[in-house]
Amino acid sequence: METIAANTETSFAPVLYMPVVADALAYYQKAFNAVELRRWSGGDGTIHVAEMTIGNAMFHLHEITGKDAHFNEQPHSFITLGLFTANPDMMMQQALDAGGKLLNPMQDYDYGYRQGDVLDPFGHKWTLQQKI
């Protein structure tokens, strides 16, 4: 697995909360070609936390536990995850084929981006985009 060097530069690493991390691991691998770096599992075999990358962008998946009960209230955030990719059309199709829901089709905008929005099966909105 790829290793991310600690403390070398400033970057964001969003944490996505969901009831079942294993389902999300499979979706993000299929939808966005995400790579699992590592995981933390419980004695029962469930995955509590997973660390993943899409290209050089790292993010974490976190199981909702009793202390995170407030995350069960939808919507739990108004954040859109912007993902720049060399082929947003292909990535959009992969996300839809993997079970995502189309929010806005891919299109070119006058501010110089090609963008489209997909909602993943866990309630997170992704803007797939490319600078044109």
Summarised one tens digit per residue, pLDDT across range 21-54 is 999 999 999 999 999 999 999 888 889 999 999 9
> HSE of 12 in the Cβ direction (CA atoms, 13 Å)?
7
pLDDT for res 130: 96
CB atoms near residue 53 (< 10 Å):
19
Q: Which domains does the chain have, with CATH numbers?
A: 15-66+78-131 (3.10.180.10)
Summarised one tens digit per residue, pLDDT across range 117-127 is 999 999 999 99
Contact by Cβ (8 Å): 13, 58: yes
Q: Where are the beta strands (DSSP E) in the chain?
A: 15-18, 35-41, 47-54, 57-63, 80-84, 101-108, 113-119, 125-131
CA–CA gap between residue 126 and residue 124 (Å, rounded): 7
pLDDT for res 13: 86
